[in-house]
């Protein structure tokens, strides 16, 4: 292999790599992305102190996504939908690029629902959001201590 062949091979490899990188970047820009995260805390400002469970849905992508519902997937794989996500958001809710929304449920209501289904101790739930096209986005598992006093 002489120098000319080596240069041609290197240019071909560079072109192939650049083309692949551009195709992947274009695909990533066009797809819908939502991050879903569960949490626990107290709303602010609040007229009274009440602990709440939260589901934060954020859109880090470059395309608007309409969220139709949020909830928790329980250990038995059943889903607990948040019918009333609180005063800050109503579904369907459109998240444009770089925006987020927070759905809340009083911690006491969540704990009572889990107890009524027979759960005790520490329960691991998966927060999720569903978009208008039916795609489900699942967050990292969140552990709920059933022994807390809301």
What is this structure's pTM?
0.77
Q: What is the pLDDT of residue 13?
A: 79
Read off the tokens for 131: 């978009």
Largest CA distance in the chain: 80
DSSP state letter for 33: -
Nearest CA among 39, 65, 57 for reference residue 129: 57
Domain boundaries, the chain: 1-30, 32-145
Confidence tier at 22 by pLDDT (50, 70, 90)? confident
- The hierarchical CATH code for the domain 32-145 is 2.60.40.10
Nearest CA among 75, 93, 74 for reference residue 34: 93
Q: What is the pLDDT of residue 41?
A: 82
pLDDT, one tens digit per residue, over 122-134 is: 999 999 999 999 9
Centroid of chain to Cα 13 = 38
pLDDT, one tens digit per residue, over 3-16 is: 887 788 877 877 78
pLDDT, one tens digit per residue, over 41-80 is: 876 666 666 788 999 999 998 889 999 999 999 999 999 9
Alpha helices in the chain (DSSP H): 3-30, 107-116
Q: Going by C-beta distance under 8 Å and a sequence separation of 6 or more, which residues neighbour residue 21?
A: none
């Amino acid at each position: 292999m002489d120098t000319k062949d080596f240069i041609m091979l290197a240019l071909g490899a560079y072109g192939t790599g650049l083309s692949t990188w551009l195709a992947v970047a274009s695909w990533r820009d066009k797809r819908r992305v939502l991050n879903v995260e569960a949490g626990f805390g107290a709303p602010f400002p609040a007229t009274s102190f009440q602990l709440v469970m939260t589901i934060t849905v954020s859109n880090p992508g470059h395309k608007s996504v309409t969220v139709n519902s949020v909830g928790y997937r329980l250990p038995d794989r059943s889903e607990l939908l948040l019918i009333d996500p609180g005063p800050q958001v109503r579904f369907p809710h459109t998240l444009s690029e770089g925006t987020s929304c927070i759905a809340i449920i009083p911690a006491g209501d969540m704990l009572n629902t889990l107890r009524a289904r027979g759960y005790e101790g520490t329960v691991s739930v998966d927060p999720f959001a569903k978009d208008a096209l039916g795609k489900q986005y699942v967050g990292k598992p969140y552990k709920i201590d059933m022994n807390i006093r809301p």
